[in-house]
Amino acid sequence: MSKVAAFYYTQTGQGLKILQSICSPLAKAGYEVVYKEIVPKTAYPFPWSSDAFFQAFPESRQGIPCEIQAIDLSDIADADLVIVEYQSWFLSPSIPVSGFFQDAAIQHYLKGKSVITVNGCRNMWIMAQQKIKFYLAQSGGKLVGNIVLQDHAPNLVSVITVVRWLLYGKQAKSGLFPAAGVSPEDIEHAAVFGQTISDALAAGDFSRLQEKLMQQNAIEYKPSIAFVEKTGHRIFGVLSKWVLRKGAYNAPERNFRLQIFKHYLFFVLYVVSPIGLLLFYIAYPFRCKSIREDKLIQCSV
């Protein structure tokens, strides 16, 4: 019997629901799906406090890992496929997921394995996935598919709803604001991707898997959001190094710079980014070719 190793990190439980939905057709087809949770040795809080949330910014952006608890790999050594579900923190893989991919035992395990990545996020996933590609290249794993499930609320609305969820634990719809996160309907619908994965696994051929997943809209590429994300990622790189010069994770000396970053972030989101998007749409007719090329690059494996 073929075996699938399904790794995940989740604080809210949403990531596991997404993974279970995708893997359900595999289990129905008779494949043994073995779930493995990525657990940091020191847990990150949920709901977060504002200070704890922004404390994670520099390490997230720079890919500085935390230690994770050892994962028993003995029962999945012979897995025919690996699926990794993860989230984006500050336009980068979450710190526990960076810890996972940089763990020596995991790097050894992934060598030669076919890997599918699944990102459940607000709406910015491109730069995090580029980092995951780098990690897989380091370990010798082969990326054969990528699936992205996103919050469909407008960008500035989803900022409010996701902050409300992360800091206060309130995910449900409230007043004029929709529920935060990936919708239950999208999570349920993700099973169609699992069926496509199951078919590829049965055929022993992943060469056209991503192409078939894209035909099922496994990734929604939003060029305007991609523009904002790439710009933000560059700026985050500079600012995260600036904060790190004052100390490592939880060092009191860097708190003042983190407070500056927090106020800067919300100013950019609600004042600067709308202006940037306006300029993007003005220039859109002249950039159609480069946007199409970028979509092909970002949505491929």
pLDDT in tens, 4-36: 999 999 999 999 999 999 999 999 999 999 999
Kindly state whether residues 60 and 197 are assigned to the same domain.
Answer: yes
Say whether both 146 and 83 belong to one domain. Answer: yes
Structural element, H or E, at residue 8: strand 3-8
The reply to whether 236 and 294 lie within a common domain is yes
The pLDDT of residue 283 is 82
What lies within 8 Å, CB to CB, of 272 at 6+ separation is: none
Tally: H helices and E strands in the chain: 14, 7
Give the Cα separation of 158 and 145 in Å (integer).
Answer: 27
**pLDDT at position 287, please?**
85
* 284, amino acid identity: Y
- Both 20 and 34 in a single domain? yes
Domain of 249? 224-298
Q: Are residues 65 and 123 in the same domain?
A: yes
Is 229 found in the same domain as 289? yes
Do 75 and 46 form a contact (C-beta atoms < 8 A)? no
Q: What is the pLDDT of residues 67-106, one digit of tens each?
A: 999 999 999 999 999 999 999 999 999 999 999 999 999 9
144 shares its domain with 285: no
Does 197 lie in the same domain as 61? yes
Interatomic CA distance for residues 75 and 281, integer angstroms: 51
Domain boundary among 221, 238, 253: 221
8 bridge partner residues: 37, 85
Tell me which residues of the chain have a pLDDT lower than 70.
1
Q: What values do phi and psi take at 292, rounded to 5? A: -65, -40
pLDDT of residue 1: 62
Q: What is the pTM of this model?
A: 0.95
| Per-residue pLDDT, 270 | 87
Q: Which of 193, 221, 249 is the last residue of a domain?
A: 221
pLDDT at 175: 87
CATH code at position 59: 3.40.50.360
Percentage of the chain beyond pLDDT 70 is 100
Same domain, 88 and 237: no
Q: What pLDDT is attached to residue 282? A: 87
CA 130, CA 116: separation in Å to the nearest integer?
A: 14
Whether 143 and 290 map to the same domain: the answer is: no
In a shared domain, residues 131 and 178: yes
Mean pLDDT of the chain: 95
Given 191, 221, 251, the domain boundary residue is: 221
The 10 Å Cβ neighbour count of residue 80 is 15
Are 115 and 159 in a shared domain? yes
- Do residues 63 and 131 touch, judged by C-beta distance below 8 A? yes
Contact 298, 221 (CB under 8 A): yes
Q: Which two tokens stand for residue 185?
A: 């309907």
Counted domains in the chain = 2
